[in-house]
Structure 1
Amino acid sequence: MNIWDKIEACKDTLTPKELEIYELVQKDPYSFSTNSSMEIASKYKVSQSAISRFCQKAGFSGFADFRLSMTGGYIANLPPSNKSSIQLQEDTDDCAHLMCDNVMRTRQALPDELLDSLVMRILNATNIYASGYGSSMCTAQTFSFCLTVLGSPCHMLFASQEMETLHILKNTDVVFLFSIANPSHRDFLSLVTDLPPEKRPYIILVSGIAKHPLRHKVSEVVTLHMPSAWNHTLLPITTIQFTFAQLVADRLTQLRQNIKEN
């Protein structure tokens, strides 16, 4: 029994407050796969206890267990109500076609001027950092690995290290924050804002939506092409972020080669 079957099976046992959580999961599965219960409670003005009770009635030990099952974003994990909307796409597309389309659309969202600007930031930075929460952390790690292999060491900025890193940041450093839509980096950015100018790094938010809640707290926002909902793709939503990492790495290789030749 997959997660959506479990959710449907417990529906008749839910209280009004728990039914509210049920409807939120149907509406916004991505948030329930990447956010903490505290973040969800704050975002939707619901109680953490209601979230916990809902998860337990659905057959999970708690929210952490529930969130783990939500992670991924594959078509097999879509709620039944959303599956019919992609039937036509399943008839004409397969994973390979969607991957090609993803690369092309992400490339369109990253014109040459923007890619060159990002790469020059990387080449001129004293230190480079990458950070992400939930599924975006995987992208941050991939991005960090790609840059390091290409000779531009990029340090992973984990949540547990943010306070320590604040003491060594400089205004010549660049920080890449990967966040599709959620304000997970809010506390870190608030602390960065309080730093003196000489210690305030250039922060690039790689987002999936134009109106990201943290867009006013960073130096630059890169908005990628993202599907409006999971039911528009057979791929995990982080595939678009991984494509960004690869395109930047490829551009870095090209510019380095051009500099070497000239």
Structure 2
Amino acid sequence: MNLMDTIHLHKNDFSKTERKVYDYIIQNPSAVETATITKIAELCQVSTSGILRFCRVLGYKGYKDFRFDMVHYLHQEHIEVNPENLFNQQISQYLSVIRQFNNIDQNKLNQLIEQIKNTKTIYIIGVHYSSLPAKHLVLGLQDLGINTYFAYDYMQASHLYNTIHEDDLLIYFSIEGNQNNVSRFFDLSNASENTYLITLNSKPKLSIENTLILPGYTLSKQSIVDLQSIVVIFVELLLNMLHNTLK
């Protein structure tokens, strides 16, 4: 028995308020994938407590658990019923992110490319989810004959950061752009003009003058697009632009 069958089975167990939730979700199951409990309550014209009671009738502790199973159900249904439509849907989600790359500050991007070309010593730091795109940039620059220093954890980065001079280039990848963990190991609050932050957060807590904000942070919460893949695409874009200027 799948989730929708379970919901139908409990049809007569719902109160008048919960029945509003039932009617809406039966007709719009995909809305659950991207909507918060507050948004679902608004769409169903009930309170959030009404949503919670609906979920508990179905045997869930709360909306989060119900939503998790609904997302799983929706993905399984798409795969089983029409895999071609699912493939096209996911391609569209990636394309919607890629199209937003046009919003990147191209002046700062070109400025970064020039500094990569003209700076003798380059440092690249990326930790956790940011380590993959950072390493991708390191390998790409090596293929172009440009050597770099690279750190992929905070302890290693703290030692590396102490060796950086003002005229060196530092490229710091941080998907969230937070400073909590960073401040424990090294201080970016006084970063030089040769420091660049690559982030997906349009309002990063790290205050760095040269910040390149990538698209997709909001969309990634509503789709299958992985945050790391967005930054890797940016790195590919950066490397190809750099390669063309080196010809």
The TM tier, using the shorter chain, reads 0.5 to 0.7
Aligned counterpart for 1:79 among listed residues 68, 72, 75: 68
Aligned counterpart for 2:228 among listed residues 238, 241, 245: 238
Residues 153-164 of structure 1 aligned to structure 2 (within 5 Å): 153-158=147-152, 159-164=154-159
Contact 1:85/1:231 (<8 A) preserved: no
Aligned to 1:3: none
SS of equivalent to 1:96:
helix
Q: Which amino acid in 1 is paired with 2:211?
A: V
> TM-score scaled to structure 1, two decimals?
0.56
1:150 maps to 2:144: yes
Q: Deviations over 1:13-34 (max 9, x none)?
A: xxxxxxxxxxxxxx8xxxxxxx
How far apart in 1 are the matches of 2:104 and 2:161?
Answer: 30
What percentage of aligned pairs have identical amino acids?
A: 16
Aligned to 1:174: 169
Q: Deviations over 1:195-243 (max 9, x none)?
A: 9xxxx572211111121111x2x24111111241544222212111001
SS of equivalent to 2:149:
strand
SS of equivalent to 1:94:
helix
| Structure 1: gaps of 5 or more residues | 1-26, 28-77, 258-262
Q: Which amino acid in 2 is paired with 1:207?
A: T
Q: Which amino acid in 2 is paired with 1:118?
A: L
How far apart in 1 are the matches of 2:240 and 2:123?
Answer: 18
1:117 maps to 2:111: yes
Alignment length (residue pairs): 173
How far apart in 1 are the matches of 2:217 and 2:72?
Answer: 15
Aligned to 1:185: 182
Q: Which amino acid in 2 is paired with 1:180?
A: I
How far apart in 1 are the matches of 2:145 and 2:216?
Answer: 30
- In the TM superposition, residue 169 of structure 1 has moved relative to its aligned partner by 1.0
Aligned counterpart for 1:202 among listed residues 194, 213, 230: 194
List 4+ stretches of structure 1 deviating above 6 A: 83-88
Q: Which amino acid in 2 is paired with 1:168?
A: T
Aligned to 2:95: 100
SS of equivalent to 2:227:
coil
1:224 maps to 2:211: no
- In the TM superposition, residue 194 of structure 1 has moved relative to its aligned partner by 6.7
Q: Deviations over 1:117-154 (max 9, x none)?
A: 11011112221121122111111111111112112222
